[in-house]
Amino acid sequence: MIPRGAALRVVGDVHGDVRGFAHALATDRFIIQLGDLADGGSDSAEVLRLMFARQDAGRGVFLLGNHDAKLARALAGRQVRTDAALADTLARLDPALAARAADAIVRAPAWLHQPGRLFVHGAFHPAMLHHAPPPILPAKVEGALAHALYGQTTGRMQPDGFPERSLRWVDRIPTGLTVYCGHDRRSQDGRPYVLRNAAGGSAVFLDTGAGKGGHLSWIDLPPA
């Protein structure tokens, strides 16, 4: 899905930050957006339109994030926990855009792998190096796909009612591999947060709070 020899721009969680996303798209580089396009910010519907237009032009792809998957379930009429952000997203979608989003999201890749690089929304799983993601979002999410969407959890719940997340998966990244991910807002200084393990693997967290009081971050990479 990534054109051979393409220079890349890897974009973190957008969450409806249409102004930031428009700036991120102002490049000739191929866009890899790490998931969570909607829910928050000023206009999730316009963010989706911008991403679909980029994808239709063959100049970008978005990965499947947990908020994207939740939106797809809501559009399919399945029961979901509807917070204010999701309700705002749903209210902004006209019928044509809702139909496009419902189809595009379930077909979005959950991870992409290049030599020395792996792109995923939530967290790395070793199976991602040997298996392609499912071609369409299944009803049951488990294994590597659960890591891709939701990260790794400790089994404990936080006071806000959401699972506590763990970074133990970073220790499983093999030597020479860099994982570019979103989902966890780990940065304390507004820049992408980098973690390295003892084996020489590393993770770059690009969620810096776009649409949730922070800003949108991206990283430019040369061709693989």
What is the predicted pLDDT for the residue at 174? Answer: 97
Is 3 domain-assigned? no
Give pLDDT tens digits for 153-176.
Answer: 878 887 777 778 899 999 999 999
Domain that holds residue 84: 8-221
- Residues 165, 91: Cα–Cα separation, whole Å: 30
Is 2 domain-assigned? no
Is 30 domain-assigned? yes
Is 46 domain-assigned? yes
Report residues of the chain scoring pLDDT below 70: none
**Six-digit token pair at 121?**
């929304």
**Residue 169: CATH number of its domain:** 3.60.21.10
Is 105 domain-assigned? yes
Q: Is 59 exposed, middle or buried (0-12, 13-18, 19+ CB in 10 A)?
A: middle
Is 55 domain-assigned? yes
What is the predicted pLDDT for the residue at 67? Answer: 95
What is the predicted pLDDT for the residue at 201? Answer: 97
- Residues 91, 197: Cα–Cα separation, whole Å: 43
Is 195 domain-assigned? yes
- Residues 83, 13: Cα–Cα separation, whole Å: 18
Cα distances from 170 to residues 25, 62, 148, 177, 203, in angstroms, run 29, 22, 13, 11, 7
Tracing tokens 């890591």 back to the chain, one arrives at: 147
**H helices present in 12-171, as ranges:** 18-24, 44-56, 66-75, 84-92, 95-106, 143-150
What is the predicted pLDDT for the residue at 165? Answer: 86
Domain count, the chain: 1
- The per-type count for the chain, helices as H runs and strands as E runs, is 6, 11
215: which DSSP letter? Answer: B
Tracing tokens 């792109």 back to the chain, one arrives at: 119
What is the predicted pLDDT for the residue at 157? Answer: 84
Is 116 domain-assigned? yes
- Residues 200, 8: Cα–Cα separation, whole Å: 23
Q: Is 157 exposed, middle or buried (0-12, 13-18, 19+ CB in 10 A)?
A: exposed
Q: Is the dihedral of CA 201, 206, 208, 209 positive or negative?
A: negative
User: What does pTM read for this prediction?
Assistant: 0.95
With contact defined as beta carbons under 8 Å apart, do 182 and 209 qualify?
A: no
